[in-house]
Amino acid sequence: MRFQRRAAAIGLIAAGALLFSACGSDNNSGGGSAPQAAGVTCGGKQALKASGSTAQANAITGFVNTFEQTCNGQTVNYTASGSGAGVNDFTGGQTDFAGSDSALTAAQTPAAQQRCASTPLNLPMVFGPIAVAYNVAGVTDLALDGPTLAKVFNGTVKTWNDPAIVALNPGKNLPAAPIVVNFRSDNSGTTQNFQNYLNAASNNAYGKPAAQTFNGGVGAGAKGSQGVTDATKSTPNSIAYIEASFAQKAQLPTASIINAGGGQPVPLSTDNLGKAIDAVKVTGQGNDLTLDLTSIYKTTTPGAYPISLATYEIVCTKYADPQTGTAVKAFLQTALSPQAQGTLTQGGYVPIPDAFKQRLSTSVNAIS
C-alpha cells in the first residue's frame, strides 16, 4: 500500500503552519477543551494505562483530551518513559497498550503474543519529523546530508570544520572545535529510526546496527528526548537527533538536510516531510500495519525532508479482559477522529492521510 499524495496534501493543508508554531514537552497539558468526537463506541474500562514513546507524548495528550470529552468518565494515563520501557511494560502486563517509535521486533513479538494470548498489532498512529539539532555559536543555517551525518554519528568526522561539512556549507564560519554528539541513553525507537536513516542514506557507511540503543560509539548519552534536548542546549559545539517539537520548544537550530536526490538542502517542516511520505509501504500482514520507512530515508523528491518516524500503538487483537479491549478500541477510534487529528497541529505532527486512515480504522475496529 502506498500513501496517496492527494490525501497527504489534504492532511497537510489542514495542519496549516504546523511545526514552526508548535512547541511541546512530555508534560504538555495540551490546553483548552477538545470537542467531542463522533463515531466512537464508548465503554469498557474507565482508566486505561499506557506508557512508551516520548515522541508521541504531545499527540497522546490531544487524543486523551478528546477521549475524555467524548467518552464521559473514561481516560488514559500515559507515561512518556521511552519506547523500550513502554514495550517492556506492555509485554509484562503492566499496561494496556504501548507507545513505540518502532514496531515490535522479531525478538519482542513472542513476549507480546504471550501477553495478549492473541496476535499483537502495530498501529502507526502518529507521524513526525526527527530534527538534527545543534549548538554552534554563530551558525544558524547548517546543511548536512546522509553520508556526512553517518560519519558524524559514528565518530569518523570529528570537528565542525571537517572538509566534509565545509563542502556542504561554503562561506560559513565553522569552528575547529570537536563535535560533541548527544544521544539517547535509554532504549528509544527514535534512536532506531535515526540509525535506520543513517544506514539507508549513507549506503551503510554508518556501519552500525540500527537498534533502540545508540551504537555509534561516540558522544554522551542523556535519558529521554528532554534530556538530550537539555544536553544540547547547554553544551557548545554539540549535535543531536531529537523529535522536532523538542527542538522547537528549546529554540535550537536544526540542520537542513540534502536528501538522496542531491540538490538544495531541505529545511525541516511538516510540509517538506509530507513530500516524502508518498511511497511508504505497509509490510505487516492483515490488521498489523508495520511500515517500511526506507522510501522516506532514501527519497529523491525535491524539497522532501528525509528523516522521520512513525510512532505506533502496540495493542492486542483480542484482550483477555473484554472491558479493556472495548476501551482501547474506543480510545483509538477517538484518536482517528477529525477532532483528535486536529490537535496534532499543536505538537508538530502530520495528520494521518485520509487514505491510510481507512486502513487504520479497519484494524482498530477489529480490536476486542
Q: SS3 of 152, please?
A: helix
Q: What is the pLDDT of residues 248-300, one digit of tens each?
A: 889 999 999 999 999 999 999 878 887 887 668 899 999 999 999 998 999 99
Pairing status of strand 308-316 against strand 120-135: antiparallel
Q: Lowest-pLDDT range, 69-73, 99-103, 179-183, 216-220?
A: 99-103
Helices 354-365 and 322-335 sit at what angle, rounded to 10 degrees? 170
Q: SS3 of 337, please?
A: coil
Apex CA 325: angle with CA 320 and CA 329, to 5°?
160
Q: How many CB atoms lie within 10 A of CB 234?
A: 10
Domains 5-127+310-365 and 130-274 alike in fold: yes
Q: What is the residue type of 317?
A: T
Q: What is the dihedral of CA 297, 282, 61, 327, to 10 degrees?
A: -170
Residue 258's contacts (CB-CB under 8 Å, 6 or more residues apart) are 143, 144, 145, 146, 168, 264, 265, 266
Residue 105's contacts (CB-CB under 8 Å, 6 or more residues apart) are none
pTM to 2 decimal places? 0.75
Helix (H) and strand (E) counts for the chain?
A: 14, 12
Q: Give all strands (DSSP E) within the chain, no chain letters.
A: 47-52, 75-80, 97-100, 120-135, 143-145, 180-184, 220-222, 238-243, 256-258, 281-282, 291-292, 308-316
Give 34's pLDDT tier (boundaries 50, 70, 90): low
Look-up of cell digits 540503543: 213
What stretch of H or E contains 246?
A: helix 244-250
Q: What is the pLDDT of residues 85-95, one digit of tens each?
A: 999 999 999 99
What stretch of H or E contains 232?
A: helix 224-234
Check residue 35 and give its pLDDT: 62
Distance CA 69, CA 62 (A): 11
Q: Flag whether pLDDT at 25 surpasses 60.
A: no
Percent of the chain with pLDDT over 70: 90
| Domain range annotation of the chain | 5-127+310-365, 130-274
CATH number of the domain at 130-274, please?
A: 3.40.190.10
Q: What is the pLDDT of residues 191-206, one digit of tens each?
A: 999 999 999 999 999 9
CATH number of the domain at 5-127+310-365, please?
A: 3.40.190.10
Contact 77, 49 (CB under 8 A): yes
Apex CA 282: angle with CA 278 and CA 283, to 5°?
140
Contact 244, 59 (CB under 8 A): no
Strand-pair partners of 315: 121
Contact 154, 216 (CB under 8 A): yes
Highest mean pLDDT among 183-192, 215-224, 354-363: 215-224
Check residue 97 and give its pLDDT: 98
